[in-house]
Amino acid sequence: MGKEYFDRYQSFKFDGNYIPRSRLDKLSQIYYDNPYHGWLILLSNPQYGGVEENIPNREIIRIPFPFRDSIQQYIDEVEKYKKLYIQK
């Protein structure tokens, strides 16, 4: 599959143009070289309640970067959570 990209919004085209909306998968592709980490961008913008559709058009949002550091920070936070709430 490699860097092949499946456009899951293909059915949202009207007269050859997409219906305007936030596109975290496209931003993930641009900044992380893959379309699968839109969730990371969404987590970095908690003011939108974890819902991509809540982000207004032309809104400035935070994109965590560099990618590896951002993923490691996420993993570290999950591990902290597990230590606090999961008892052995």
pLDDT in tens, 46-83: 999 988 889 998 899 999 999 999 999 999 999 998 88
Would you call the peptide bond into 66 cis, given omega within 30 degrees of 0 as the criterion?
yes
| Alpha-carbon torsion (71, 4, 11, 18), positive or negative | positive
Return the pLDDT at 1.
44
Listed in sequence order, the DSSP H helices in 1-88 are 24-32, 38-43, 67-85
7 versus 82: which is more confidently predicted? 82
**Mean pLDDT in the chain?**
82
For residue 16, pLDDT over 80 is answered with: no
For residue 40, pLDDT over 80 is answered with: yes
Q: What is the pTM of this model?
A: 0.68
